[in-house]
Amino acid sequence: MTLFDALFLGALEGVTEFLPVSSTGHLILASQLLGLQQTAAHKAFEVSIQLGSILAVLFLYAQRLLADKTLWLKIAIAFLPAGVLGFLFYKHIKALFGVETVSIMLIAGGIIFLIVEYIRRDKPIEEGKDLSALTYKEALIIGLFQSLSMVPGTSRSGATIIGGLFLGLNRKSAAEFSFLLAIPTMMIATAYDLIKHRHEMIVDDYSMLAVAFVTAFIFAFFTVKLFVGFVSRHTFTPFAIYRIVVGIIFFYFVATLPV
């Protein structure tokens, strides 16, 4: 891996982690284009640099988290489904990482977003419950939606946002709970992967990991702020169309390339 690869993947991770377009899917597709093999160490790299993005959210929402202790409990409850299923089916999930799976799930997720927006077409953009009105039961249901994102290309943020919208949250609150739920989810996933693959990652891998990590933090910090402002005024339709277009392009032109 070169310095350019690390910078590019870090920026891509920071921009896509909290958008409903699948950061993992984009990293897999980008790695394919850069000629980087999907080894166990590289897969761990792709998961690990997501922690940089997560720390950006922790930095942005620190005051809110400190002020609302019940929010922490809701996040913990929502984390449980993915935490349990991820631990039980780790090997099976890793086996799904591939261009074909990502392409299909990008398209499928885009179609679902279009359906959701069609159902909500007559409602004002800002209509829905605030995050403070989210119940513990609803938090658990959003957690079940998040567990669907263990299939690469589904998008963790996309799945949780759709779950929040189905439960009546407004777009901004659905997006923000998705951001916050990423904190325990991605921190634990990162720690687990780093420990599991610590013998496969050489020193150079860690130096490139540090570069991508910092880059992901910077890009995620600004992306989150811009995304919250965007969904407060617009629908998710542009992201749905983007998912479908990218999925189709990679399904036909990248999935056939030699790994």
List the beta bridge partners of residue 169: 129
Write the DSSP string, 112-150.
Answer: HHHHHHHHTTTS-TT-SB-GGG--HHHHHHHHHHHHGGG
Is 131 a member of any domain? yes
pLDDT score recorded for residue 192:
76
> How many domains, in total, are found in the chain?
1
pLDDT score recorded for residue 92:
63
pLDDT score recorded for residue 51:
85
Residue 152 DSSP one-character state = T
pLDDT score recorded for residue 223:
94
For 12, 73, 147, 152, 158, the CA distances from 22, given in Å and listed in that order, are 11, 26, 14, 8, 7
Is 259 a member of any domain? no
pLDDT score recorded for residue 144:
93
pLDDT score recorded for residue 66:
87
To the nearest 10 degrees (0 to 180), the angle between helices 136-147 and 171-196 is 60
Residue 215: give the domain boundaries.
Answer: 3-253
List the beta bridge partners of residue 129: 169
pLDDT score recorded for residue 94:
61
Is 38 a member of any domain? yes
pLDDT score recorded for residue 93:
66
Is 258 a member of any domain? no
For tokens 């050489």, what's the residue? 202
pLDDT score recorded for residue 87:
72
Cβ(156)–Cβ(105) below 8 Å: no
**Burial letters 57-71, b for 16+ CB under 10 A, else e:** beebbeeeeeeeeeb
Q: What is the reported pTM?
A: 0.82
> Other C-beta atoms within 10 Å of 257: how many?
11
Mean pLDDT by 10 residues, the chain (259 residues): 90 91 81 78 77 91 88 92 77 66 86 89 82 92 89 84 90 91 85 72 72 94 92 89 89 62
